[in-house]
């Protein structure tokens, strides 16, 4: 084992600031040690700086929780690459990079830069709403449309009522970013081992569909359409569902016969009419009612720990504030405490991976707008301070 | 040179995973060309095989006909090996020496019980990478607790955000904490492979469902951290898009989503709906006005959209720059012209289950989709390749091992 856990410290990533998918992709690379340089528009910055939630509900370029979380660990520079002087700088950055996370400008030809010619080993990750080549290619989408077409909304809501998404936009918009991180890294590895660069294309639409539980294949095999089912799940055991607790809810995933039988024993439900898997499916709602009578007379945590002691998969329903105080997450040091001049010290979700038993810690807080212009443009690319000043007054940086 | 769609051809993975959260990342590596060898006990096959089996599956072969197992294990090889037996463990160790990566989603106490913990694996091969996926991780008070998707969702706070405003919690039917753990593990495993190729040293990567789910609700967690406010359920309401939601369309259980982000989109929506009288209210003309009147607009809109086909209305609204989309059900996905143009579903034959569509790897490399070469390997399908070719075990020895129940045909 070695001390340094920066697995990707020889990889250079350029991120053209854009949507949450690009931002989380860059963040996952930075978490594991890559040098990630985020390019923002001069004077206005990443659109995420103006997307909530904001510190104390007061918007400002260094007060967005979404921006500060996703930009943690990155270098920040400003560059108008549509300006010829800016494009020249972007070319030099691309020449040194392994991966560029595109916001659409390069792949769609918004800037006239032939990235393959500049750097034949460069990988371009092209994260889109819908893939090229089909009728939806240029469709607009918020998280709602991505989830509607990506098969997620079909599975959430009460039967007969309007389909839903979970009340978190990142829950939908981060998926393509994290899947894309794997595809892009594999392409970088190929380029490193004597191969060429690559145009990696991925849409929210297909990334979400790839992360559903193969419902289309299921339909083809069985003719059963997996649709939203309220507190439970079509095609699974009746005990895989939300139950009530005295102080909230619990989530139960009892799936195997042994798990369901243990849960029944714990809740004092006799096996009359529920002796076999077939009987439990047939009298499912009755079984659920009896189990619910037991769960709803105990607290969430009583149900959680007692069920787990019987090896029944059960979870206490946490509210968002309670997650910060979770005994498990505290013990494992999940949350980061990050100091930033504009916000003071605040808690952030940490890196969701342990390497050799240790959790990577972000090496820098989110950058202020253009904070690393001097370091990247002057120290690394060799622009003089005078040139940087001129470019700044021109609005190029 | 390796094909762009198969960047991982030189990687071999030993896959000790079951259900979905573990098989998903190893399938992603297999899609991109890695040789993934899935291990099942001859008497303990992957329990995912029991789900979704059609009633007309061939007698005695139901375990080969699960759409879930067959899709989640596409592009993999499969062997049978009883890790509860000393000879099985010893063969497993010989296989580890031939692999670059071991992926497991057993609970943290299982591999050490088999003598296959990271230290033991490293003693066999210092460059080995072990990726352990579990509900809660290998430490902490909940380390031995069992978890499936719904558990990670409840404990992460995600479930508390799921449902209609003012009502109880609903289940997110996707089971998102499984893929959240899976796609996180795929990326971290690739990062360790990248490093190992430079340094020759392996790593132990650990991913928990609970922790992997939390970045995906970062907006709600950061809101709590930055304002103290505890977000809950909100139907489909958005901080400033109004209207925003799913509305009934013509036909049974047909729905269309519409998001209005600015005044121009609102005007376009009103025009497409034929300028109905209710929509002319002056307070609806601005975003702040629409936010104040959101519920009233949603009621009107639900009546108006019900007259339209969800696909036709989508096309009309998108043509005018309005984000709109039908809620698409699984059967409809299979006939989507978009997905057939991009080659997302691939039809693959299976000796017992027949020919069916499977979702392919979602990214394309230089315009090319990684192929699905085969689906759901049969239990023990690659025993002769793995034990014979890779490990050099003679047919006689294999017969003795099969006789002893260490490998061979499933014994259920």
Per the prediction, chain B carries an average pLDDT of: 97
Gap from B380 CA to chain A (nearest CA, Å): 23
Q: Please check whether residue A111 touches B, CB under 8 A.
A: no
Residue A176: inside a domain, yes or no? yes
Minimum-distance CB partner of A213 among B68, B157, B333 = B68
* Shared domain check, A200 and A302: no
Å from B48 to nearest chain A CA?
10
Residue B338 lies in a domain: no
Which residues in chain A have Cβ-Cβ distances shorter than 8 Å to B46?
none
Q: What is the pLDDT of residue B235?
A: 97
Residue B106 lies in a domain: yes
To the nearest whole angstrom, how far is the Cα of B340 from the nearest Cα of chain A? 8
The pLDDT of B11-25, averaged and rounded, is 97
For residue B221, tell me if it sits in a domain.
Answer: no
Displacement of CA B407 from its chain's centroid (Å):
29
Can you give the CATH number for the domain in which B319 is found? 3.30.1540.10
**Do B129 and B270 fall within a single domain?**
no
Peptide bond into A53 cis (omega under 30): yes
Domain identity same for A132 and A41: yes
Q: Which residues pair with B253 in a beta bridge?
A: none
Q: Are residues B325 and B253 in the same domain?
A: yes
Which residue range forms the structural domain that includes residue B121?
A: 12-216+343-403
Question: What is the CATH classification number for the domain harbouring A74?
Answer: 3.40.50.10540
- What is the mean predicted confidence (pLDDT) over A203-219? 97
* Structure confidence at residue A109 (pLDDT): 83
Quick one: B258 and B399 in the same domain? no
Last residue of a domain, one of A283, A317, A351: A317
Question: Greatest CA span in chain B, whole angstroms?
Answer: 86
* Contact criterion met (CB below 8 Å) for A370 and A388: no
Would residue A168 count as lying in a domain? yes
- What separation in angstroms does the CA of A318 have from each of A167, A322, B129, B163? 15, 6, 34, 14
Task: Give the strand order in the sheet containing B35-40.
Answer: A354-355, B204-208, B129-134, B101-104, B12-16, B35-40, B77-80
**A155 close contact with B: CB closer than 8 A:** yes
B58 reaches A (C-beta below 8 A): no
Average pLDDT over residues A190-196: 92
Question: If residue B358 lies in a helix (H) or strand (E), which one and from where to where?
Answer: strand B354-359
Q: What is the CATH number of the domain that holds B157?
A: 3.40.50.10540
Task: Provide the percentage of residues in chain B whose pLDDT is more than 90.
Answer: 99
Q: Is B211 on the interface with A (CB under 8 A)?
A: yes
- The reply to whether residue A332 touches residue B192, judged by beta carbons under 8 angstroms, is no
pTM of the model: 0.98
* Dihedral (CA of B238, A147, B24, B187) sign: negative
| CA dist., res. A40 & res. A200, Å (int) | 22
Nearest residue on chain A to B346, alpha-carbon basis: A217
Residue A54 with chain B: CB contacts under 8 Å: 226-227
B412 falls in which pLDDT band (50, 70, 90)? Answer: confident
What pLDDT shows up at residue B401? Answer: 97
Residue A274 is part of a domain; what is its CATH number?
A: 3.30.1540.10
Whether the CB of A122 is below 8 Å from some CB of chain B: the reply is no
Q: What is the pLDDT of residues B340-370, one digit of tens each?
A: 999 999 999 999 999 999 999 999 999 999 9
Interface probe with B: pick from A8, A176, A193, A221, most Cβ of B within 10 Å: A221
Q: What is the pLDDT of residue A3?
A: 53
Give every CB contact of residue B116 below 8 A, 6+ residues apart in sequence.
B83, B89, B92, B93, B96, B102
Pair B127, B251 in one domain: no
Predicted pLDDT of residue B343:
96
Q: Any chain A CB within 8 A of the CB of B183? A: yes
pLDDT at A111: 87
The model's pLDDT over A23-75, given as tens digits with 9 standing for 90+, comes to: 999 999 999 999 999 999 999 999 999 999 999 999 999 999 999 999 999 99
Q: What percent of chain A has pLDDT above 70?
A: 99
On whether both B251 and B396 belong to a single domain, the answer is no
| Residue A373: domain span | 12-211+334-394
Q: Would you say residue A253 lies in a domain?
A: yes
Q: In terms of CA atoms, which chain B residue is nearest residue A152?
A: B174
In a domain, B139, yes or no: yes
Total count of domains within chain B: 2
Q: What is the pLDDT of residue B344?
A: 98
**Segment A277-336, tens digit of pLDDT:** 999 999 999 999 999 999 999 999 999 999 999 999 999 999 999 999 999 999 999 999
User: What does the pLDDT read at residue B400?
Assistant: 97
Residues of A in contact with B110 (CB under 8 A): none
Strand locations in B62-166 (E): 77-80, 101-104, 129-134
How many folded domains does chain A comprise? 2
Better-predicted residue by pLDDT, A2 or B59: B59
Q: Is A93 on the interface with B (CB under 8 A)?
A: no
pLDDT at A112: 85
Q: Residue window 177-236, chain A: list those with CB within 8 Å of chain B.
A: 178-183, 185-190, 192-196, 198-203, 205-207, 209-222, 224-236
B 76-115 near A (Cβ less than 8 A): none
Question: Are residues B353 and B325 located together in one domain of the fold?
Answer: no
Angstrom distances, CA of residue A38 to CA of A28, A51, A176, B48: 13, 17, 18, 42
Q: Decide if B260 contacts B242 (C-beta within 8 A).
A: yes
Q: Write out pLDDT tens, residues B116-125.
A: 999 999 999 9
Which residue reads 């950058």 in tokens?
Answer: A367
Q: Which pLDDT score, from 0 to 100, does residue A1 have?
A: 39
In a domain, B196, yes or no: yes
Task: Give per-residue pLDDT as tens, A281-295.
Answer: 999 999 999 999 999
User: Can you tell me whether residue B399 is helix, strand or coil?
Assistant: helix
Please say if the pLDDT value at position A2 is more than 70: no
């Amino acid at each position: 084992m070695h001390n340094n856990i920066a697995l990707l410290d020889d990889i250079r990533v350029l991120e053209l600031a854009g949507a949450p998918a690009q931002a989380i992709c860059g963040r996952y690379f930075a978490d594991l040690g890559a040098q990630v340089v985020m390019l923002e528009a001069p004077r206005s910055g990443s659109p995420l700086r103006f997307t909530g939630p904001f510190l104390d509900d007061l918007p400002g370029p260094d007060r967005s929780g979404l921006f500060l979380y996703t930009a943690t660990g990155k270098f920040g520079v400003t560059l108008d690459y549509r300006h010829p002087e800016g494009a020249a700088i972007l070319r030099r950055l691309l020449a040194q990079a392994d991966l560029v996370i595109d916001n659409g400008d390069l792949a769609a030809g918004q800037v006239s830069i032939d990235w393959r010619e500049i750097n034949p080993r460069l990988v371009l990750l092209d994260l889109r709403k819908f893939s090229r080549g089909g009728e939806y290619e240029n469709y607009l989408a918020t998280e709602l449309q991505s989830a509607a077409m990506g098969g997620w909304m079909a599975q959430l809501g009460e039967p007969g009522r309007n389909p839903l998404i979970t009340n978190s936009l990142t829950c939908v918009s981060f998926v393509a970013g994290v899947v894309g991180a794997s595809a892009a890294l594999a392409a970088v590895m190929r380029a490193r081992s004597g191969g060429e660069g690559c145009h990696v294309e991925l849409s929210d639409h297909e990334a979400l569909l790839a992360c559903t539980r193969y419902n289309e294949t299921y339909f083809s095999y069985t003719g059963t359409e997996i649709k939203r089912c309220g507190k439970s799940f079509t095609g699974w055991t009746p005990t895989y569902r939300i139950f009530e607790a005295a102080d909230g809810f619990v989530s139960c995933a009892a799936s195997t016969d042994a798990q369901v039988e243990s849960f029944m024993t714990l809740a004092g439900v006799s096996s009359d009419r529920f002796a076999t898997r077939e009987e439990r499916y047939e009298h499912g709602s009755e079984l659920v009612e009896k189990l619910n009578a037991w769960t709803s007379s105990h607290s969430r945590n009583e149900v959680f720990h007692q069920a787990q002691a019987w090896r029944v998969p059960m979870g206490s329903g946490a509210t968002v504030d309670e997650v910060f105080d979770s005994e498990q997450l505290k013990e494992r040091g999940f949350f980061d405490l990050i100091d930033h001049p504009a916000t003071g010290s605040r808690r952030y979700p940490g890196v969701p991976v342990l390497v050799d038993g240790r959790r990577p810690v972000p090496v820098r807080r989110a950058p202020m707008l253009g904070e690393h212009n001097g370091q990247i443009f002057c120290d690394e690319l060799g622009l003089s301070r005078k040139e940087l000043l001129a470019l700044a007054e021109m609005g190029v940086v | 040179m390796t094909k762009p769609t198969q960047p991982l051809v030189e990687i071999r993975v030993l896959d000790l995973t079951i259900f979905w959260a573990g098989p998903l990342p190893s399938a992603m590596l297999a899609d991109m060309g890695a040789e993934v060898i899935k291990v099942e006990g001859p008497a303990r096959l992957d329990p995912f095989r029991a789900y979704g089996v059609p009633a007309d599956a061939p007698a005695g072969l139901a375990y080969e006909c699960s759409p879930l197992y067959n899709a989640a294990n596409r592009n993999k090889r499969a062997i049978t090996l009883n890790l509860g037996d000393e000879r099985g463990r010893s063969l497993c160790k010989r296989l580890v020496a031939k692999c670059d990566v071991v992926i497991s989603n057993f609970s943290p106490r299982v591999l050490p019980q088999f003598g296959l913990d990271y230290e033991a694996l490293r003693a066999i091969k210092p460059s080995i990478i072990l990726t352990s996926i579990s509900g809660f991780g290998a430490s902490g008070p909940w380390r031995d607790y069992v978890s499936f998707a719904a558990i990670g969702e409840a404990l992460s706070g995600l479930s508390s955000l799921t449902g209609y405003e003012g009502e109880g919690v609903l289940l997110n039917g996707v089971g998102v904490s499984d893929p959240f753990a899976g796609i996180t593990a795929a990326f971290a495993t690739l990062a360790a492979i990248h490093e190992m190729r430079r340094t020759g040293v392996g790593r132990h990567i650990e991913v928990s469902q609970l922790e992997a789910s939390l970045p995906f609700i970062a907006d709600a967690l950061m809101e709590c951290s930055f304002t103290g406010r505890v977000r809950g359920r909100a139907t489909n309401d958005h901080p400033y898009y109004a209207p925003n939601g799913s509305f009934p369309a013509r036909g049974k259980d047909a729905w269309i989503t519409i998001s209005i982000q600015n005044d121009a989109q609102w005007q376009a929506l009103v025009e497409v709906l034929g300028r109905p009288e209710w929509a002319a209210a002056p307070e609806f003309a601005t975003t702040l006005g629409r936010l104040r009147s959101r519920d009233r607009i949603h009621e009107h809109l639900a009546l108006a959209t019900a007259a339209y086909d969800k696909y036709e209305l989508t096309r009309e609204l998108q043509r005018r720059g309005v984000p709109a989309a039908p809620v698409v059900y699984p059967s409809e996905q299979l006939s989507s012209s978009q997905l057939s143009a991009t080659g997302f579903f691939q039809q693959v034959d299976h000796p017992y289950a027949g020919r069916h569509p499977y979702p392919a790897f979602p990214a394309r490399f230089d315009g090319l989709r990684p192929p699905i070469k085969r689906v759901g390997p049969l239990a023990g399908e690659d025993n002769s390749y793995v034990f014979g070719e890779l490990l050099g075990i003679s047919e006689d020895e294999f017969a003795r091992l099969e006789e002893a129940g260490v490998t061979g045909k499933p014994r259920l």
